[in-house]
């Protein structure tokens, strides 16, 4: 039996409250399915660490982490302590880039028991993936200011798209679409307004499509695509998007299915050269931290994605993933539920309920 | 009585079907309120013109248009004939930039008779403005390709933010917020990921806020802001955003209120040095063109915004604007309605119904 080494980084705020529940459920699943998970907790990559050390992580973070099989990650950011662009670029965004986790995979699924903000939708109606490019594009710290501090002040911000970066995310998305019953892919673009990078993105989609003759595909400008997430979410199967567009769509999608508190995500290095990061879509929510009321489902569901990834196709791991998902569905439907879902359970109670079903 | 000279550009596709209804209603309103509108139709700025002349507009377009008081604009784009980035950069985006229409003002309002895709919302619950920067930012054709055609191909896309550009849109938005009962402003940002331009945007908001002590303001990253449009649209009053973020939010907002077919917009040069452009948010929709089924309300409502703008505070023009809005509301509630709203009326019938109420 293989041992899977997992680094645990709770981060800031409610990251510290949902992580114990994630671990609780992972341990229950590991026992039941006889999977060997070995967790190592890192006390850094949080804003308190920054205040003490002037950096988010120790200088040897890369060496410390690189041989893990996965990183189980809570949430980072506490704007009153450290500006977001410092805390995030000093932790999560470093992992994504330096561990080449170029796929950010985010399921969007309407779950039982979750009131849907859209009218007349039932569980099963909405069920798709956002495949987000996770290392380049609009997320860039390249650029600068000219005529700083004067009336002429001009700020340049570079987006960087490479053929390698675009092609590999498109390939992942086409393959995912190919593996699904509907075999449909939607590409997010904005080539009518963003005149250099987005026409290039479109070109690469068109170049790759013939390699996947079974996949039907279309493209939408991001403005109308966002509108369609609200007006006709049923029609999507796999949506592929640049870093920024994927970020927006993977918060909007979960909002359309009721709550971003339960949405999971996987930052994947498909080649497994580096550890992949599994984290809930929600942030650190300093405003509700300390009350033990944060919804742990996003953290737990991300853990299920981690099990699936670690199994790399092994049926036992897939079964473990599916069992966690079924336990989540049961708890969402019958409670206990945290206050954000209209219940009065604590984070701990909700996590224990999921674990108990395993 | 002042004569208002208005250039009419129908553009492509359904632009040609909704424009006659816009004009019909404008003429009815002008008669009733004794306003002197003089319309001049331009046969260019459409894709057929491009196919014939190799450019979207005649070379002297600027001289031909610059002395008009307003441009009443349908929709441009027909991707099967001309790529969008060519047709749009050759027309609408030129107007916005060369006529310095730096404010794109887009009301988001849940209207009577329009089924809302969000559960449990009634007319009046959603009522806010998106104020979009309209001349700079992410919409740029600056950048290029390196190592073209090779595996190393790298594409750079520049976003350009200037202090002048940012400050004037923020000022417009703060002033608008100040004039409204709720006096609330939300700024769209993404300073945690887009590390140069968006922290700058945040800085300018913070610098300007003290000049408007009565306005309460907050900021959200675009991903969570998009989610909140779906989860709690009631809470917004004025939302200010960069060119791209404003583009996304002003399609998403109208989607949350039921349909982008009725959403209007104004591209405003507040100094009135150049003509402002009034256009529906929807596009040219080649797929439904030729059937006389396009919903003309976005075009008509944009005309109402034009009347208001032309009046520049004059109560008679405000009354004309309000009368058109009331007529729109009546028709939305009682019909006739085009097929997109569940009716079977034609574009013409719906336009005539609005005009008849004036
Ligand atoms: C057609 C396109 C270039 C345009 C834009 O993105 O500005 C449109 O979507 C709009 O919102 O007016
Ligand atoms: C925290 C932030 C930098 C991050 C992102 O924008 O990628 C988050 O929103 C996400 O989606 O994981």
pLDDT > 80? residue B214: yes
Sequence-separated (6 or more) residues with CB below 8 Å from residue B142: A196, B157, B158, B160
Count of positions (residues) in chain A:
358
In whole angstroms, what is the distance from residue B98 CA to residue B112 CA? Answer: 37
Q: Which among A88, A159, A164 has CB closest to B157?
A: A159
Per-residue pLDDT at B304: 98
User: Does A51 map to a domain?
Assistant: yes
**Residue B175: both structure tokens together:** 């002033």
pLDDT in tens, A164-210: 999 999 999 999 999 999 999 999 999 989 999 999 999 999 999 99
User: Does B119 map to a domain?
Assistant: no
In whole angstroms, what is the distance from residue A305 CA to residue A200 CA? Answer: 32
Q: Chain centroid to CA A129: how far? A: 11
CB A83 to CB B199 under 8 A? yes
Domain that holds residue B232: 127-256
Q: Are A230 and B117 in contact (CB under 8 A)?
A: yes
Write the CA distances from B278 to A23, A340, B4, B79, integer angstroms. 56, 42, 14, 22
Query: Quick one: pLDDT band at residue B218, thresholds 50, 70, 90?
Result: very high
Of B207, B226, B256, the domain-final residue: B256
Residues A161 and A188 grouped into a single domain? yes
Three-state DSSP at A238 gives: strand
CATH number of the domain within which B188 lies:
3.40.718.10
B192 lines ligand 2 (CB under 6 A): yes
Per-residue pLDDT at B127: 96
Residues A192 and A99 grouped into a single domain? no
Residues A73 and A55 grouped into a single domain? yes
Per-residue pLDDT at B132: 98
User: Does A323 map to a domain?
Assistant: yes
Strand partners, A161: B155
Write the CA distances from B185 to B171, B173, B180, B181, B197, integer angstroms. 11, 7, 10, 12, 20
Q: Are A160 and B155 in contact (CB under 8 A)?
A: yes
Residues B145 and B242 grouped into a single domain? yes
DSSP character at residue A81 = T
Query: Quick one: pLDDT band at residue B95, thresholds 50, 70, 90?
Result: very high
The DSSP line for A124-147 is TS-EEEEEEE-SSBT----EEEES
Count of positions (residues) in chain B:
358
Residues B205 and B280 grouped into a single domain? no
pLDDT, mean over chain B? 96
Sequence-separated (6 or more) residues with CB below 8 Å from residue A315: none
**H helix or E strand, kind and range, residue B133:** strand B127-133
Query: Quick one: pLDDT band at residue B248, thresholds 50, 70, 90?
Result: very high
Per-residue pLDDT at B84: 86
pLDDT, mean over chain A? 96
DSSP character at residue A291 = S
Residues B252 and B133 grouped into a single domain? yes
Residues B62 and B22 grouped into a single domain? yes
Residues B12 and B57 grouped into a single domain? yes
In whole angstroms, what is the distance from residue B104 CA to residue A234 CA? Answer: 31
User: Does B142 map to a domain?
Assistant: yes
**H helix or E strand, kind and range, residue B24:** helix B15-33
Other beta carbons within 10 Å of B141: 15
**Residue B71: both structure tokens together:** 């441009």
pLDDT > 80? residue B266: yes
Cis peptide before B302 (omega within 30 of 0): no
pLDDT > 80? residue B15: yes
User: Does B200 map to a domain?
Assistant: yes
| Ligand 2 mutation target, pool A88, A103, A250, A286, most atoms within 8 A of CB | A88
CA gyration radius, chain B: 20
Region A29-54: mean pLDDT is: 98
pLDDT > 80? residue A229: yes
Q: Which atom of ligand 1 is nearest to the CA of A192?
A: 3
Residues B220 and B301 grouped into a single domain? no
Domain count of the fold of chain B: 2
Residues B23 and B39 grouped into a single domain? yes
Per-residue pLDDT at A85: 84
Per-residue pLDDT at A259: 83
pLDDT > 90? residue B75: yes
pLDDT in tens, A42-98: 999 999 999 999 999 999 999 999 999 999 999 999 999 999 889 999 999 999 999
Q: Are A92 and A277 in contact (CB under 8 A)?
A: yes
In whole angstroms, what is the distance from residue A16 CA to residue A23 CA? Answer: 11
Strand partners, B133: B103
Per-residue pLDDT at A324: 98
Per-residue pLDDT at A84: 86
Three-state DSSP at A89 gives: helix
**Residue A121: both structure tokens together:** 């939708």
B119 contacts in A (CB within 8 Å)? Answer: 115-120
Query: Quick one: pLDDT band at residue B1, thresholds 50, 70, 90?
Result: confident
Per-residue pLDDT at B85: 84
pLDDT in tens, A319-356: 999 999 999 999 999 999 999 999 999 999 999 999 99
Region B101-115: mean pLDDT is: 95
| Ligand 1 mutation target, pool B71, B133, B137, B247, most atoms within 8 A of CB | B247
Region A261-268: mean pLDDT is: 96
Of B233, B256, B279, the domain-final residue: B256
Residues A239 and A318 grouped into a single domain? no
User: Does A113 map to a domain?
Assistant: no
Per-residue pLDDT at A115: 87
pLDDT > 90? residue B279: yes
Q: Are B262 and A238 in contact (CB under 8 A)?
A: no
Of B256, B282, B307, the domain-final residue: B256
Strand partners, B9: B73
**CA-based nearest residue to B104, from B112, B96, B94:** B96
Task: State percent of chain A over pLDDT 70.
Answer: 100
Under 8 Å CB pairs connecting chains A and B tally to 222
pLDDT in tens, B291-326: 999 999 999 999 999 999 999 999 999 999 999 999
**CA-based nearest residue to B244, from B178, B197, B204, B278:** B197
Query: Quick one: pLDDT band at residue B226, thresholds 50, 70, 90?
Result: very high
Burial (CB count <10 Å: 0-12, 13-18, 19+), residue B152 = exposed
Per-residue pLDDT at B312: 96
User: Does B120 map to a domain?
Assistant: no
pLDDT in tens, A272-290: 999 999 999 999 999 999 9
Cα angle B139, B62, A151; round to 5: 50
Q: Which atom of ligand 1 is nearest to the CA of A190?
A: 6
A21 lines ligand 2 (CB under 6 A): no
Distance B246 CA to ligand 1 centre (A): 10
Query: Quick one: pLDDT band at residue A21, thresholds 50, 70, 90?
Result: very high
Per-residue pLDDT at B207: 98
DSSP character at residue A111 = P
Cis peptide before B336 (omega within 30 of 0): yes
Q: Which atom of ligand 1 is nearest to the CA of B104?
A: 12
Burial B39-62 (b: 16+ CB within 10 A, else e): eeebebbbbebbeeeeebbeeebe
pLDDT in tens, A164-174: 999 999 999 99
DSSP character at residue A290 = T
User: Does A309 map to a domain?
Assistant: yes
Residues A9 and A98 grouped into a single domain? yes
pLDDT in tens, A91-147: 999 999 999 999 999 999 999 999 899 999 999 899 999 999 999 999 998 999 999
B285 contacts in A (CB within 8 Å)? Answer: none
């Amino acid at each position: 039996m293989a041992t899977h080494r997992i680094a645990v980084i709770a981060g800031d705020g409610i990251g510290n409250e949902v992580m114990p529940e994630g671990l609780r459920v992972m341990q229950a699943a590991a026992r039941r399915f006889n999977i060997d998970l070995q967790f190592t907790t890192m006390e850094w990559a949080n804003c308190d660490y920054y205040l003490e050390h002037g950096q988010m992580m120790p200088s040897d973070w890369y060496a410390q982490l690189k041989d893990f099989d996965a990183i189980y990650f809570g949430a980072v950011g506490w704007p009153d302590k450290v500006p977001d662009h410092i805390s995030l670029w000093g932790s999560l965004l470093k992992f994504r880039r330096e561990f080449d986790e170029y796929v950010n995979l985010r399921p969007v699924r309407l779950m039982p028991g979750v009131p849907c903000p859209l009218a007349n939708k039932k569980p099963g109606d909405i069920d798709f993936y956002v495949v987000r490019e996770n290392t380049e594009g609009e997320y860039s710290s390249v650029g600068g200011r000219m005529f700083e501090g004067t009336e002429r002040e001009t700020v340049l911000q570079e987006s960087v798209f490479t053929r390698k970066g675009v092609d590999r995310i498109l390939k992942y998305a086409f393959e995912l679409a190919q593996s699904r019953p509907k075999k449909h892919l939607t590409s997010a673009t904005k080539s009518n307004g963003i005149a250099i990078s987005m026409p290039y993105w479109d070109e690469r989609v068109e170049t790759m499509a013939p390699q996947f003759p079974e996949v039907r595909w279309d493209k939408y400008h991001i403005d109308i695509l966002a509108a369609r997430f609200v007006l006709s979410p049923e029609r999507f199967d796999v949506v592929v998007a640049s870093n920024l567009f994927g970020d927006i769509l993977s918060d909007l999608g979960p909002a359309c299915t009721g709550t971003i508190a339960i949405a999971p995500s996987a930052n994947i290095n498909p080649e497994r050269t580096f550890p992949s990061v599994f984290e809930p879509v929600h942030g650190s929510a300093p405003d509700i931290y300390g009350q033990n009321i944060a919804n742990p489902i996003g953290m737990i569901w991300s853990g299920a994605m981690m099990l699936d990834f670690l199994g790399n196709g092994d049926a036992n791991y897939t079964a473990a993933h599916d069992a966690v998902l079924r336990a989540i569905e049961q708890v969402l439907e019958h409670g206990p539920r945290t206050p954000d879902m209209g219940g009065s359970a604590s984070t701990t109670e909700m996590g224990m309920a999921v674990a108990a079903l395993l």
